Amino acid sequence: MYRIALKMLMGDRGKYLGIIMGLTFASLIMTQQPAIFVGLIMRSYSFITDLGLPDIWVMDPEVQWVDDIKPLQDTELYRVRGVAGVAWAMPLYKGLLKARLPNGMFQTCIVVGLDDATLVGGPPRMVEGRLADLRRADAVIIDIDGAREKLSQPPAVPGGKRIELKIGDTLELNDHRAVIAGFSKNTRTILSQPVLYTTYSRAKQFAPRERKMLSFILAKAKPGEALADLTRRIRTTTGLAAYSREEFMGVTFRYFLKNTGIPINFGVSVMLGFIVGAAIAGQTFYSFTRENLRQFGVLKAMGTSNWTLLRMILLQATLVGMIGYGLGVGLTSLFGWAMRNTILAFKFPWYLLLFSGIGVTLICAFAALISIRRVITLEPAVVFKS
């Protein structure tokens, strides 16, 4: 009987493809849009994830997320270093500065100042040059994507290739000379500004003079020290905010959820995808069942039980659901692969597969349910109507 169910489904090519297209569309929207959303959200705290070494981030208690800088006095560093359980604590400067390019154009960059001695807080991976090269005079390290895109210069001839920065080139930061000493590979930030690394003392020279310049204190717990206890101790001792890496990512993530329109915009897209997919697939599946009511009636008259008919419809719904889901997820993966080297934020973690799987299952269940109801209540005597 299951083979009959499948033949009934596939025999009506137009409707079969219609249902699959609806489910594919729903599955695509329910994976592609959240994948971009997740990509964007991950970029919002990419600065935190890129800094692997410190366990604890210490900052002004009013800081709401990673780019919300409220500078501290340099003396706070020593107070943190004095808290029991802290193995080490280093300063970090983070600010937005305008870089003047060799062609005279300006570009806003994220400037990160690392502890002069240890260079803690450096980029996750060097592409060219070494982190230690920052100790050279006026040295900066630039993230490779920024160097290739926003910091590159227009082509020498119309239609030519953009001129990328190279080691030894100079930039001007707030009237100070900066020499490129290397390139790093960073996770893109949410606004995709180029990231420039330099030493803490040099960053303070680059930045406009302010009374407080210390953006964050990066701390490491002593071996065996519980992070939750240590952050609590830092908070109570210094009056500053102290978060573990994961906590600070969570703070940033929640800020984005609460204070930006990003989740709502993507949520609306996903909801629309779900509704349109459900409408197309549900309506087409129901119409397919309606057109086959006489056939279901014939089967019923011949002695097929409602339970068997229900399983036949569920099989039909499961098949179109699986095909639609597979195609949608496949198209999303293809989209992600095609966009892998672009500025587009795209992350496709396993839980999005689960999310869209649940979505498609709900659509299929809805489509099957309205069809099943019609078939179960069908009077088999309908077969005698001409």
Partner 1 sequence: MGADKDLAVHCRGVLKTYGTGEAMVTALQGVDLEVRQGELMMLVGPSGCGKTTLISVMAGILDQSDGDCRVFGQDLMHLRNHAKLAFRARNIGFVFQAYNLLPTLTAAENVTVPLLINGMGRKEALKKAEQVLEQVGLGARTRSLPSQLSGGQQQRVAIARAIIHEPRLIVCDEPTSALDHETGHKVMELLKGIALRRDRTLVIVTHDARIFEFADRIAEMDDGRVIRIVTNSSQLH
- 342 is a contact residue toward partner 1 (CB under 8 A): no
Per-residue contact track with partner 1, 133 to 152, x per CB under 8 A?
Answer: --------------------
**Contact region with partner 1 (CB under 8 A), list: 5-13, 68-76, 207-215, 243-251:** 5-13
Of 263 and 380, nearer to partner 1 (C-beta) is 380
- How near is the Cβ of 38 to partner 1 at its closest, in Å? 42
| Residues sharing a CB contact under 8 Å with residue 68, sequence separation 6 or more, in sequence order | 255
CA-to-CA dists, residue 198 to 68, 92, 98, 259, angstroms: 20, 10, 15, 31
Residue 7 in contact with partner 1, rule: CB under 8 A: yes
Distance in angstroms (rounded) separating the CA atoms of residues 92 and 119? 9
**C-beta of 342 vs 386, nearer to partner 1:** 386
Please state, in angstroms and as integers, the Cα–Cα distance from residue 82 to each residue in 36, 114, 141, 162, 200, following that order: 43, 20, 31, 50, 21
**Judged by CB under 8 A, does residue 75 bind partner 1?**
no
We find the least distance from the C-beta atom of residue 306 to partner 1, in angstroms, to be: 8
Handedness of CA 60, 62, 64, 69 (dihedral sign): negative
The answer to whether 96 and 111 are in contact (CB under 8 A) is yes
Q: In whole angstroms, how close is the CB of 298 to partner 1 at the nearest point?
A: 5
Which is nearer to partner 1, 179 or 298 (by Cβ)? 298
Nearer to partner 1, 307 or 350 (CB): 307
Residue 297 Cβ, how far from partner 1 at the closest point, in Å? 8
Pairing of strands 139-143, 216-221: unpaired
The count of residues interacting with partner 1 (CB under 8 A) is 25
Q: Is 121 left (phi over 0), alpha (psi -120 to 50) or beta?
A: left
Task: Give alpha helix (H) positions in 45-156.
Answer: 46-49, 75-81, 144-148
Nearest residue to 220 via CA among 237, 242, 193, 196: 242
Q: Per-residue x/- mask for partner 1, residues 10 to 29, rule CB under 8 A?
A: xxx-----------------
Which residues 277-316 are close enough to bind partner 1 by CB under 8 A? 294-295, 298-305, 308
- Which tokens is 67 given? 């780019």
Q: Is residue 3 part of the contact set for partner 1 (CB under 8 A)?
A: yes
Q: Residue from 68, 229, 246, 379 that binds partner 1 (CB under 8 A)?
A: 379
* Least separation in angstroms between CB 9 and partner 1: 8
Least gap, CB of 360 to partner 1 (angstroms): 25
Q: Does 377 bind partner 1 (CB under 8 A)?
A: no
Measure Cα distances from 258 to 64, 329, 347 in Å. Answer: 11, 29, 21
Residue with tokens 């993230």: 143
Gap between the Cα atoms of 331 and 274, Å rounded:
16
Rounded to 10 deg, the angle between the 13-44 and 2-11 helix axes is: 90
Q: Which is nearer to partner 1, 11 or 61 (CB)?
A: 11
What is the contact surface with partner 1 in residues (CB under 8 A)? 1, 3-4, 7-8, 10-12, 294-295, 298-305, 308, 379-381, 383-384, 386
